[in-house]
Amino acid sequence: MTPAEARERIRRRSDLNAFISLTEEEGTGPVVGVKDLVDVRGTVTTAGSRLLPEVPAERDAPVIARMRRFGCVVVGKTNLHEWAFGLTSENPHYGPVRNPLDPARVAGGSSGGSAAAVAAGLCDWALGTDTGGSIRVPAALCGVVGFKPTVGTVDTEGVVPLSRTLDTLGPLAPDVRSAAQALETMSELTGLLPERPPSRDRLRIAVPEGWDDDLRPEIEPAWRAVSEGLPRVRLPERRRLVDCGRTILFVEAAAFHRRRLEDHPDGFGADVLALLRQAARVDRREYRAALIEQSRLRLEVEAAMQDWDALLVPATRGPAPRIGAAHDRGLLSDTTRPFNTTGQPVIVLPAPLPGGDGLPVGVQVVGHFGEEAWLVQVALALEAAFAAERPAPST
């Protein structure tokens, strides 16, 4: 699509609140939405808040500068959960991001605007960030592909942080091929797309034992269909991985926002304010212990995966909540956060739905640390297998 076509589509779907601002950029390359944590020259970076100065960035973040070398055109800055500290993108300042598949439901967070923009066809692909599931949760809830690469793959300079230890940048796109191509424009990675991916039946894929025992009934049938018959592998207990990552995130987020929290507490939305106050109570000794535990957990997970090409893991344990409804954060992030703790690359795919309809169900394909190219091959093979399993559309 052209930038003008994208802007017209965005205006027609303004009800989704997918974008905070638009640019006037022109060009013939891919039209990209950028999560409004990332500096784009000439645009104000809001981080989904009203507390940052309304001053346009003077220069592009390195990731944007690299994307421009591939011809990418930034059409606008996408909406998000305030300060990227949440899972729904119900933003009190710029409006809730609505799920294009059911506008009464959230798009997920914190990269909700990026996922909604891709799902609604408002851009070719979008840039997101992921600290505890912020690419993968909205990708799953909106039925698109999300790619969280190995931590450190994409430069995070010029990006408003949440947790510098865990923050990761990656793309959301309509399919695996587009996501892989997008990641190549964002990073130094090359050669991610094979001439011919392996067939599904030649891959060694396992499921973490016990990690799918507590799925909501809206999720379970689709998950069972794609995971049936796969061998089980014993990973570290899920709660260890979740708690370790949350402790690191909380301490680093509280440190970054300490002065704002002291000087302008009324400038935060209620949910983010409550989280930051909770985060501020985490002891530094817990933080040091969590960093040591993180190293231990990475080794344990890698050892458990040594005989497998990838793991298949539910992206969420429940469906997209309704906007304004109370929700259990763990239902959305307890299966994504572990792989921020380990730093592994993960691609989320939409699973085929039994019966052919219903809310999207996302499946994580978890790869080995630093092996994005092989993960792309596995995801391409699964994507093709899932497409063959989808019921034909009714006529």
SS3 string, the chain, reads: CCHHHHHHHHHHCHHHCCEEEECCCCCCCCEEEEECCECCCCCECCCCCCCCCCCECCCCCHHHHHHHHCCCEEEEEECCCHHHCCCCCEECCCEECEECCEEEEECCCCCHHHHHHHHCCCCCEEEEEECCCCCHHHHHHHCCEEEECCCCCCCCCCECCCCCCCCEEEEEECCHHHHHHHHHHHCCCCCCCCCCCCCHHHCCEEEECCCCCCCCCCCHHHHHHHHCCCCEECCCCHHHHHHHHHHHHHHHHHHHHHHHHHHCHHHCCHHHHHHHHHHCCCCHHHHHHHHHHHHHHHHHHHHHCCCCCEEEEECCCCCCCECCCCCCHHHHHCCCCHHHHHCCCEEEEECCCHHHCCCCCEEEEECCCCCHHHHHHHHHHHHHHHHHHCCCCCC
Task: List pLDDT tens digits, range 243-299.
Answer: 999 999 999 999 999 999 999 999 999 999 999 999 999 999 999 999 999 999 999
The set of residues, in sequence order, having a beta carbon less than 8 Å from that of 237 and lying 6+ positions away, is none
pLDDT band at 389 (very low <50, low <70, confident <90, very high): confident
Per-chain mean pLDDT for the chain:
97
Average pLDDT over residues 354-378: 94
Cα separation, 42 vs 214, whole angstroms: 47
pLDDT band at 197 (very low <50, low <70, confident <90, very high): confident
Please report, for the domain that includes residue 111, its CATH number.
3.90.1300.10
Cis bond leading into 110, ω under 30°? Answer: yes
* Residue at 305 is within a domain: no
Average pLDDT over residues 168-180: 98
Task: List pLDDT tens digits, range 64-116.
Answer: 999 999 999 999 999 999 999 999 999 999 999 999 999 999 999 999 999 99
* Residue at 267 is within a domain: no
Half-sphere exposure of 127 (CA within 13 A, CB side): 33
Average pLDDT over residues 186-190: 97
Nearest-CA neighbor of 63 among 13, 144, 126?
126
* Residue at 83 is within a domain: yes
What is the pTM for the complete model shown? 0.97
pLDDT at 356: 76
Q: Which domain holds residue 201?
A: 1-233+310-395
Per the structure block, which two tokens stand in for 46? Answer: 């809001």
Instruction: Give catalytic residues, as residue numbers.
Output: 35, 110, 134
The letter for the amino acid at 203 is: L
Number of domains the chain contains: 1
Cα separation, 258 vs 191, whole angstroms: 42
pLDDT at 357: 79
The letter for the amino acid at 53 is: P
Task: List pLDDT tens digits, range 129-172.
Answer: 999 999 999 999 999 999 999 999 999 999 999 999 999 999 99
pLDDT at 214: 94
Per the structure block, which two tokens stand in for 221? Answer: 């049938």
Cα separation, 272 vs 82, whole angstroms: 7
Q: What percent of the chain has pLDDT over 90?
A: 95
C-alpha angle 261/44/165, rounded to 5°?
55
* Residue at 293 is within a domain: no
Rg of the chain over all Cα atoms, to the nearest angstrom: 19
* Residue at 256 is within a domain: no
Q: What percent of the chain has pLDDT over 70?
A: 99
Residues in the chain, overall count? 395
Question: In this structure, are residues 174 and 118 in contact, taking their beta carbons and an 8 Å threshold?
Answer: yes
pLDDT at 195: 87
Strand partners, 349: 363
* Residue at 218 is within a domain: yes
Question: In this structure, are residues 170 and 135 in contact, taking their beta carbons and an 8 Å threshold?
Answer: yes
The answer on pLDDT for 393 being more than 70 is: no
Task: List pLDDT tens digits, range 209-248.
Answer: 999 999 999 999 999 999 999 999 999 999 999 999 999 9
* Residue at 337 is within a domain: yes
* Residue at 343 is within a domain: yes
Cα separation, 296 vs 209, whole angstroms: 19
Question: In this structure, are residues 317 and 329 in contact, taking their beta carbons and an 8 Å threshold?
Answer: no
pLDDT band at 395 (very low <50, low <70, confident <90, very high): very low
Average pLDDT over residues 118-129: 98
pLDDT at 392: 62
